[in-house]
Amino acid sequence: MASITRLEKLEILADAAKYDASCSSSGSTRRDSRGGKGMGSSEGMGICHAYTPDGRCISLLKVLMTNVCMFDCRFCVNRSSSNVRRARFTPEELATLTTDFYKRNYIEGLFLSSGIIRSPDYTMEQLVGTARILRHRLDFRGYIHLKTIPDADPELIAEAGRLADRVSINVELPTREGLAKFAPEKDDKRIKSTMAVTRARIAQWKDERKKFKSTPRFAPAGQSTQMIVGADGSKDVQILRSSADLYGSYQLKRVYYSAFSPIPDASKDLPPIRPPLMREHRIYQADWLWRFYGFGLDDLSHSMENGMLPLDIDPKLAWALNRRAAFPVDVNKAPKEILLRVPGLGIGSVGKILSARRHTRLRLEHVGRLCRNIKKIRPFIEAADWRPTALTDRADLRDLLAPPAKQLSLAL
Amino acid sequence: MRIVHIGHETDFSGWRDHARALLGAGIRPEDVVWRVCTEEADLFDVMTRDTGTAPKAKITVPRAFLTDAQMAVCHRDPARFDLLYRLLWRSQDMPGLLANSVDEDVHTLHKLTKAIRRDRHKMHAFVRFREVKGEAEETFVAWFEPEHRITELAAPFFMRRFSNMRWSILTPDCCAHWDRETLTYSEGTTAAQAPDGDELEDLWRGYFRSIFNPARLKVKAMTSEMPKKYWKNLPEADLIEPLIASARALETQMVSAAPTPVKREASYEFSDPCATPADALDTLRREAAGCTLCDHACHATQTVFGEGPADTPLMIVGEQPGDTEDITGRPFTGPAGAVFDEALAGAGLSRDALYLTNAVKHFRFIPKGKTRLHRTPGTAHIDHCRRWLKAERSWIKPRLTLAMGATAIRALHGKTLSVTGAREGFSCFDGGLAFAGLHPAAVLRQTVPEERERAYHTLVSDLARVRQRLEAKENTPA
């Protein structure tokens, strides 16, 4: 075989990694390169260095070490039965590439994953080896996100946690049945056990850090996971329950949802569909409502139809339309948790309302200054100069607030 | 009307000195015109700074306002100095003014600082260094055009990040230079002063092309975060149009391409025949790991099977694993486990000498934020899980069993009995003798210290009674 250039390898292995949605580089320990010999910093806030036309950001150099894989997960472009071109980076090559990119300010760091080759331990050792070169030899202080391989030696996972800012392992599908069907070599119990080990290690680090400042850090940006939406028959309600379990059980920082996207050389078991991007978006919104807005799973499932969130309006508006009796709420009096339930009011706007109303009796125009779209909020609030009266209860309120239906483009 | 001249466009300290003096002299914002000196000569027409007139009253300004003002002066809005002085003036009589974000001036200030923060963030993100060839030391130079005059606000970030690298960032307003020791600034310049390329850019563009997924085209999401105004200095930006143009075709090709047949089906192997009770328990443990009889099994991490020697005379049965047990995979390792261990020691028993298990072997919970709330197992779960308890008991054959709590009693007896009633003994489904006792979690549930103390003593005495019975039984011939 003809020799393969660095560019070709990068193209193959980045292409193989793009189905992983996570690219976050935030929430780690603060540090910089002063007093060291290498480069890199992390200042809490993540930075997106570029955006591709799919609207996703490039924060980290997201590549696979290799796209050769023993497993045959149906939804995955790298499965053993796929005919894609294969390549492999050595840990040395990856470390050099990372610092070359970093020096030019292209990236915040490295997100390294891999197909499973030889054995879980061997694969994990290669990932950890790359991080070792970066951290120990090159004194790289940027962000590192490592995938952990299920069933790898706990000692390797522990080392990964000490070197990386974040570790993750993908649950892939929301239900165990889906996983058994589409990823027969993966086992949800083993994935969850690996997460459990990581949660216990993080907790141990946080605990020991209180006593000894020198305790080596362990994945300070926490762990995350990803679920594919739309590959199996799971309903939104199942997806949200699964992620609620994951947040609660393993204290995950994030569950990423990735609309199942057609891949080159797809398996015949999978639906040849366009990715359900709107569905993915609604699930993210529901996830936010659950994590930051005090919504329960019951609240969310109540506005679902047949286990699915409405696609034309956001889940908070759907909830509010089903709960007209709870509205309007008075922006000058209502407590924070009630304001958070008003469609169109986000955490930021609610914070500003709470602090501004100590100084002024808020009028509708004031609320308009603090939020993005007052028209959407108006039916649900009362202000000093505003009562929605019959508007809140109008039967066609949904149509008034939903974005106009678009003619579908027929040319595919 | 007073005309006040500020040294340069981002002269925060100049503004502050003037503002202090004007405020001290009681000059109203509407009577002041703020101007930036553009020429050296201007300095001579300038009315001397009012620093001579000492402030009459003490001027108080919240620290947050100074931070905001420092940012706002970097904005290109010509009215910024005027706005800041007006806010300063008004805040003297209205102490809470700056927290009132619906006030028009405060709202404008917030808009300015938000724009500056965003611009600074985008500068941190979109500066692209190019290596300067032929330098003895690795040297990098970038050309960047920020929307506002933020070079000095943004440069320290690069100093912290690349402190061991020589670099310069050139902009039309101001340039920043780092020589690995000091950060210096110079006059603005032109793009011609920066290198026009870097070998690595081909690799970077290759990465940009490959990481893009043509099936998820969302151009608006991209442009809202990476507005076109920044594109001209991004080496990857000229790929965007062609990528968008070819995306649909690629997607259609992927959707309509003939699928690859599935190569092979997976197979599972399980269970092996066993010889000793200890082997049998190991096998059971492995089999139970795959149990999915209850719906809640799929929400838990793992089956928490019993543990202890196979030849022990004493079995202790709890309710179900909790949050910690679900993570560790071992029974009684959480807070209730700690109470249990203490009470065991208090009763003179050793954990290593007994078999410890739960009536239900998967954690049942409701997720709540980043925690999980325990849910009591229902009778169906107890009934499902009895098969594992039965199997454990059939190999261990304990002489005595302690059932801690109502769930354990129900699992062992088949019907619900009260703990108090069953304390004196009841018979298990397999005819074995069992006694009931308090569950350690019941101790933790008591909020009043005295109540908690009392519950703890009950637990210890339940355990101690079992030990006495065990000893008495040992002494009586069978």
Predicted TM-score (pTM) of this structure: 0.84
Q: Which residue of chain B comes nearest to A363, CA vs CA? A: B102
Taking phi over 0 as left and psi of -120 to 50 as alpha, with beta for the rest, A389 belongs to left
Q: Using an 8 Å Cβ cutoff, are B361 and B322 in contact?
A: no
The half-sphere exposure of B184 on its side-chain side, counting CA atoms within 13 A, is 7
pLDDT tens per residue across span B57-84: 677 888 889 999 999 999 999 999 999 9
CB-CB contact of B72 with B113 (8 Å): yes
Mutate to test the interface with A, among B93, B94, B101, B144 (most CBs of A within 10 A): B101
**Residue listed under structure tokens 């500020």:** B6
* pLDDT value, residue A401: 84
**B160: nearest CB among A33, A48, A262:** A33
- Mark which residues 150-169 of B lie under 8 Å from A by CB: 157-158, 160-165
Residue B93 pLDDT? 86
In angstroms, the separation between the Cα of residue B158 and the nearest Cα of chain A is 9
Cβ pair A359:B121 closer than 8 A: no
What amino acid occupies position A167? V
Q: Mind listing the pLDDT tens digit for each residue in B425-449?
A: 999 999 999 999 999 999 999 999 9
Q: Position of tokens 């070359």? A: A100
B246 touching chain A per CB within 8 A: no
- How many C-beta neighbours within 10 Å does residue A133 have? 18
Confidence category of residue B454, pLDDT binned at 50, 70, 90 = very high
pLDDT value, residue B268 = 26
Give the whole-angstrom CA distance, residue B4 versus residue B32. Answer: 7
A330 vs A36: CA distance, rounded Å: 55
Grade residue B39 by pLDDT with cuts at 50, 70 and 90: low
CA distances from B138 to A41, A93, B132, B159 (A): 19, 20, 8, 15
Q: Is the pLDDT of residue B114 over 90?
A: yes
Quick one: pLDDT at residue A275? 85
Burial class (CB in 10 A: 0-12, 13-18, 19+), B431: exposed
B50 has a pLDDT exceeding 50 = no
Q: How many CB atoms within 10 Å of residue B220?
A: 10
Can you read off the two tokens belonging to residue A271? 């639906």
B290: pLDDT confidence band, cut at 50, 70 and 90? confident
**Which chain B residues have a beta carbon less than 8 Å from that of A359?**
96-97, 99-100, 103
pLDDT of residue B259: 63
Q: Which of B215, B219, B262 has the CB atom closest to A262's CB atom?
A: B215
CA–CA distances in Å: residue B237 to residues A27, A51, B438:
28, 9, 69
What does DSSP assign to residue A136? Answer: I
Residue A110: CB atoms within 10 A of its CB come to 26
Q: What's the pLDDT band for B478 if we cut at 50, 70, 90? A: very low
Cα dihedral B105→B111→B113→B118 (10° resolution): 180
Q: Please count the other Cβ atoms lying within 10 Å of the Cβ belonging to residue B219.
A: 15
Note whether A360 contacts B213, CB cutoff 8 Å: no
Q: How far apart are CA B161 and CA B158, in angstroms?
A: 5
Listed residue (B157, B161, B141, B155) closest to B233, CA to CA: B141
When the pLDDT of each residue in chain B is averaged and rounded to a whole number, the result is 88
Q: What is the mean pLDDT of residues B187-215?
A: 93
B367 touches chain A (CB under 8 A): yes
DSSP string of A262-317, one letter each residue: --TT-BTTS------HHHHHHHHHHHHHHHHS---HHHHHHT-BTTB--SSS-HHH
Residue B97: what pLDDT? 87
pLDDT digits (tens, 9 = 90+) for A280-334: 999 999 999 999 999 988 899 888 989 999 999 999 999 999 999 999 999 999 9
Report CA B282 to chain centroid distance, whole Å.
38
Quick one: CATH architecture of A6-275? Answer: Alpha-Beta Barrel (3.20)
Would you say residue B185 has pLDDT above 60?
yes
Looking at the structure, give the CATH architecture of the domain made up of residues B277-475: 3-Layer(aba) Sandwich (3.40)
pLDDT at A1: 45
Residue spans per domain, chain B: 2-121, 127-193, 200-256, 277-475
- Give the closest-approach CA distance of B23 to chain A in angstroms: 24
Residue A56 in contact with partner chain B when CB distance is under 8 A: yes
Measure B221 CA to nearest chain A CA, in Å.
5
Find the helix packing angle between A154-163 and A120-132, rounded to 10°. 20
pLDDT grade for B306, boundaries at 50, 70 and 90: very high
Minimum-distance CB partner of A200 among B206, B265, B328: B328
Using a pLDDT cut of 70, give the percent of chain B over it.
Answer: 91
A385 close to B (CB below 8 A): no
Confidence of residue B273 (pLDDT cuts 50, 70, 90): very low
List beta partners, residue B307: B356
Is the Cβ of A264 closer than 8 Å to some Cβ of chain B? yes
Is B380:B360 a contact under the CB 8 Å cutoff?
no
Cα-flanking dihedrals φ and ψ of residue A240, to 5°?
-70, -35
Would you call B128 and A17 a contact, using CB atoms and an 8 Å cutoff? no
Q: Which of A49, A52, A188 to mutate to test the interface with B (most CBs of B within 10 A)?
A: A52
Q: Which helix (H) or strand (E) holds A209?
A: helix A188-211
User: DSSP strand E in B54-164: where?
Assistant: 130-131, 139-143
Q: Which residues of B touch A80 (CB under 8 A)?
A: 263
Per-residue confidence of chain A (412 residues) as pLDDT tens digits? 457 899 999 999 999 998 888 888 888 889 999 999 999 999 988 999 999 999 899 999 999 999 988 888 888 888 888 888 889 999 999 999 999 999 999 999 999 999 988 889 999 999 999 999 999 999 999 999 999 998 889 899 999 999 999 999 998 888 888 888 888 888 888 889 889 999 999 999 999 988 888 888 899 999 999 999 988 889 999 999 999 999 999 999 999 999 988 887 777 777 777 888 899 999 999 999 999 999 988 899 888 989 999 999 999 999 999 999 999 999 999 999 999 999 999 999 999 999 999 988 999 999 998 888 898 899 999 999 999 888 888 888 888 888 776 655 544 4
Paired sense of beta strands B183-187 and B174-178, if any:
antiparallel
Name, in order, each residue with C-beta under 8 angstroms of B92's C-beta and a sequence gap of 6 or more: B23, B59, B60
Q: What is the pLDDT of residue B52?
A: 46
Give the Cα separation of A29 and A215 in Å (integer).
Answer: 13
Domain positions in chain A: 6-275, 323-400
Backbone angles phi, psi at A220, to 5 degrees: -60, -25
